[in-house]
Amino acid sequence: MNSGTANKLLTCTFFICCGKPENRGIKEEDFAMLKTLTTVIFALIFILSNDAFALDKNEQVRIFKERIKTLIKQGTIPIIDVEYHHGGKIETDRLIGRMDENGVALTWLGPNEKLGSEESIRQNELHPDRFVPTIVHGDGKLWHGSDKGFLEKLAKDARSGKYFAMGEFEARHYPSSTNNRNVHLPVDSEAMKVVFELSSETGMPFLLHHEAEDELLPELERMLAKYPKAKLIWCHVGRNRNPVTWNKFSKADGVRDLIKKYPNLYFDLVQSKPGSKYHGTGYQDAIMYDVSSWGVSLDAEWEKLFEEFPDRFVIGSDINTGRFGNYDRVMDTFRSIVLKELSKPTAEKIAFKNAWKLMTGKDWED
């Protein structure tokens, strides 16, 4: 419906509702009929506009699919980047340049909490074949302070039907290479419950940041068990920042145990440079790689895990403003070390098919 028609209908309603019929020379029964008619018209508008929106989302999915198919035709395995931290300082044209250079078909464009979810919609409107509307990250004072207004807005955004994914939301977060947030909002806190509930209700996946210390696992496991319909992507797996406190996650087996227990748990792969050390502890944290004088390869145990559970892993760049210069290196590591080592069906699932299913709710169809 165009705005002119809407205006006429509103004007009509105004005259019907605001004023007594006898004042305008309308018979009582005609007035009642007009009122009923207006109600019906508005009910129809409501239904039709909802349908129009559903079509919009289908149209978006069609555009995303075209984009992926274009890369397949070029002989590239397309990547869907599920974890990008959009702070508004890197022009999206620059990001698109890096995506194109690296065979990244789509980016879940998660804005930081200050920018708000709408920023992702704005960028999607400008570049509908590149950016997937994604709800804000929980990465600042509002989220960590469990701000009521922030959580209400989050719920409103999630229920709007305009978005495909949510977050990254931070639970336990150590200082990183680009920020010094040393915080812990427990996975079973009230704020996190809001996210788990919204994911269960809408079917949208969400990203979680949580440091994999043994003693921090129970709070996560309680929630995975309590919300079996929530789709949780735990970010940066294949990482260990302290072998003493992260004992269960020192091997691929620890991840395997959780995968077997929780069908609603997914992971994106660690993005640190193979062989690099976490500055907080001095340990080489990307444990899914073998680094030797011969070069870097995917560790055999992790390769086995990916082949055994090919549906549970996705790729996220974890690129933000401060790390933008790492984009090519991160994507090249995924392509030339991880995807190259895997069977083609597994590589395709991890590169884009799993992310596709998480964001659309449907299997990828060639």
Window of 43-51, 144-152, 178-186, 234-242 that interacts with Zn ion by CB under 5 A: 234-242
Distance CA 326, CA 332 (A): 10
Minimum Å gap between C-beta 316 and Zn ion is 9
Tokens read off for 233: 């992507």
Strand partners, 169: 138, 208
Closest separation in Å from C-beta 187 to Zn ion: 14
The minimum distance between CB 236 and Zn ion, in angstroms, equals 6
Q: Which is nearer to Zn ion, 235 or 314 (CB)?
A: 235
Near Zn ion by CB under 5 A, which window of 102-110, 130-138, 209-217, 226-234?
Answer: 209-217
SS3 sequence, 6-53?
Answer: HHHHHHHHHHHHCCCHHHHCCCHHHHHHHHHHHHHHHHHHHHHHHHHH
Site for Zn ion in 237-266 (CB under 5 A): none
Among 130, 153, 172, 209, binds Zn ion (CB under 5 A): 209
**Minimum distance from CB of 143 to Zn ion (Å)?**
13
Q: Could you give the CA distance from residue 218 to residue 148 in angstroms, rounded to a whole number?
A: 26
Q: How many residues touch Zn ion (CB under 5 A)? A: 2
Return the range that interacts with Zn ion (CB under 5 A); candidates 197-205, 213-221, 232-240, 299-307.
232-240
Buried/exposed code over 250-272 (b: 16+ C-beta within 10 A; e: otherwise) = eebebbbebbeebebbbbbbbbb
Could you tell me the smallest distance in angstroms from the CB atom of residue 318 to Zn ion? 6
Q: Name the helix (H) or strand (E) containing 121.
A: helix 118-126
The reply to whether 235 sits near Zn ion by the rule CB under 5 A is yes
85 in contact with Zn ion (CB under 5 A):
no
The region of 65-73, 202-210, 265-273, 275-283 touching Zn ion under the rule CB under 5 A is 202-210
Beta strands in 273-314 (DSSP E): 289-292, 295-298, 313-314
The distance of closest approach from Cβ of residue 344 to Zn ion in the complex, given in angstroms and rounded to an integer, is: 29
Q: Pick between residue 233 and residue 235 the one whose CB is nearest to Zn ion.
A: 235
Nearest-angstrom CA–CA distance, 265 and 263: 6
Applying CB under 5 A, the residues found at the interface with Zn ion are 209, 235
